[in-house]
Each structure stands twice: as structure tokens, then as C-alpha cells.
A and B are shown apart, each in its own frame.
Chain A
Amino acid sequence: MTNESHIHHPNYVKVWAALVVLLIVSLLGSMSHVRYVLLFAAFGVAAIKAYLVAKNFMHVTVEKRFVPYLLVLCLLFVVILFAGAAPDVMKHSGLHWNKDSAKQAVQSGMGAAPKHE
């Protein structure tokens, strides 16, 4: 029946408290000048938080198997988009091509004072 619960409800307040602690960790990590600490604080912690929300609040892990497969498939489409377009966007020159305007934008942006003041 549609109205019957399909899940066991965990202690949601504990999950929320863990998420808030992780938010504080990401804020503290963002003050670090070590690149890898900063990257983990920003994106590693975000991935853990997203997993906790998906597992405990959305109950993805106890949903029918095809649901997480569907979500992962859509994420895979995003990865394919990234892999296909990233080389052209992230690099400003290749074997037979140059993006002069992008190079100039980087050079002027890195060298000049902030423009928007």
C-alpha cells in the first residue's frame, strides 16, 4: 500500500548534528593555506554531507535498487559531459589551436588589480 512506511527512521537529530559539525569543519578548513586541506574541507566534506543526507534523509539505500542506479546514471551523464568538454574549456592551447582571448583574460586578471571596485 502506498501509505505504509518502507523505512526504519533513524535518529534524525543525531544525523543533523553530524551535518552541522561537518559544516563547521569545512569552515575551519577553508581558513587553511594548505591546498589539499582546503580542497578536502571544501569538496571532501561536501561529498560526505551529501552522502549523509541521501542515505539518512532521502533513504536512497533502502529504496528499490533501480532508483540509486537511475541517479548514478544521471551523474554519469554529467561526468561524460565534463570529460568531453573539459579539455577544450580548461586548456587555452593545444597542438593546432590557441585561445588568445582566454589567455589574455587570465594574464590581465592575474596581473591587474581587481576590476570590479
Chain B
Amino acid sequence: MSTSAKPIANTRSATGIPTARLITWWVIASEIVIFGGLLATYVMHRIGHPEWADSASHTLTWAGAFNTFVLLTSSLCAVLAHKAADARDGPRAAKLLRVTSLGGLIFLSVKAYEWTIDIREGFVLSSGGFWSFYYALAGLHALHVLAGMIILLIVAADAAKNRELQRVECIGLYWHFVDIVWIFLFPLLYIAR
């Protein structure tokens, strides 16, 4: 594929960094406001309602901790894929991206198991203020994990053929951001009681 036929996001660098990476940073910046706004709203309500500590004590800390470990490990795989892409080793980058996506699948499976237990015990979206925030925050984050998994697999398919390797870093940036959001969700929803 000639350079002229490539999308402008891969070929132009008006700000000093490739436009594709610039767009990824813009996405992350907007996500900071989305998640930050929701987290800030939760924190102010949580401080105003000390009785939510009782609800928070029902969340499964071991499940949250295990999921934190899974996301940290998948972030390691994502950054190793970036390193492989820099070395022009597309097949290795693709393999690591697929392992990263598998991490997302494990995360969602644990989350589904956890929610099943919560719902069976009667803790649903309408059970109280804490549970509304719990499902909204974790649910929005889970949607981001799901979207990331799909994009990871699409990027991996190209990377395996040594194509569009610059995308490996971009999806890695997004995945690390999703990891950072969970790093803050874990103490807020599982530890602070």
C-alpha cells in the first residue's frame, strides 16, 4: 500500500505527533471528564451518605482485587505489544494483543459472576444510592473493556500481517487508560467502607 493511499490519520503529523495518536489522546481526555465526573459525583454522595458503607461491605473484595491483577497484567501485555510493534515484529505484537484481549474477557467473566451473586442476594440497580452508582460505574467501565477487546482483535488481525503497526500503540494507550480507571474504581467500590 502506498503512503498516499493511507488515511490522513496515519500520514500527517501537524502537531508533532502522529494524528492517530493525537486523536487517541483526545479520546482519553474526553474520557477523563466522563469518568471523572461520574467518580466525583459518587465521591460527594458517598461522603454525604455514611450509611452507604453498609452496602459497600457487601461487594466482593477478592473479585475486585483479582480483576485489578488481570487488568494490570493485560496492560503489561499491551505495552509489550507496543514494544514488539516498534521492533517491527507484527506477529508477536498480534499475539500479545490477543492475550490482552483475553485479559479483558477474564475481567468481564469475573464481573458477570460477581454481579450474578450481587443480584441473587437482592442487590440490584434500584436497591439504593450505592448500588445505583456501583452498577453505573462498573457497567460503564465494563462497556469500555468490551469495546477495547473488539478493537484489540481488529488491530491484532492487521498487526499479524505486519500492517498498520502504529495502531498497536494507540489501542495500548486506550487500554492503559481503562486500567487506570479501574485502579480508582477498585478502592472506591471495594475497599472504602
A residues sitting closer than 8 Å to B (CB atoms) are: 2-3, 5-6, 9, 12-13, 15-16, 19-20, 23, 26-27, 30, 38-39, 41-43, 45-46, 49-50, 53-54, 56-58, 63-64, 66-67, 70-71, 73-75, 77-79, 81-82, 85-86, 89-92, 102, 105-106, 108-110, 114-117
* B121 and A116 form a contact (CB under 8 A): yes
Q: Is B44 an interface residue (CB 8 A)?
A: yes
Q: Which of A43, A74, A108, A116 contacts B29 (CB 8 A)?
A: A74
Closest 3 CB pairs of A and B: A109-B51, A78-B36, A42-B187
- Taking a contact as CB atoms under 8 Å apart, the answer to whether B51 and A106 are in contact is yes
A71 to B22, CA, bound (A): 12
Q: Are B33 and A77 in contact (CB under 8 A)?
A: yes
Beta-carbon nearest neighbor of B127 in chain A: A116
Most-contacted residue by chain B among A2, A6, A30, A114 (CB, 10 A): A2
In contact, B128 and A2 (Cβ under 8 angstroms): no
0 or 1 for each of B37-48: is its CB under 8 Å from A? (1 = yes) = 101110111011
List 19 additional A-B contacts (Cβ < 8 Å) besides A41-B187, A106-B48. A2-B11, A3-B166, A27-B65, A46-B184, A50-B180, A50-B183, A57-B75, A63-B25, A67-B17, A70-B25, A70-B26, A71-B25, A74-B36, A82-B44, A102-B49, A106-B50, A110-B51, A116-B58, A116-B123
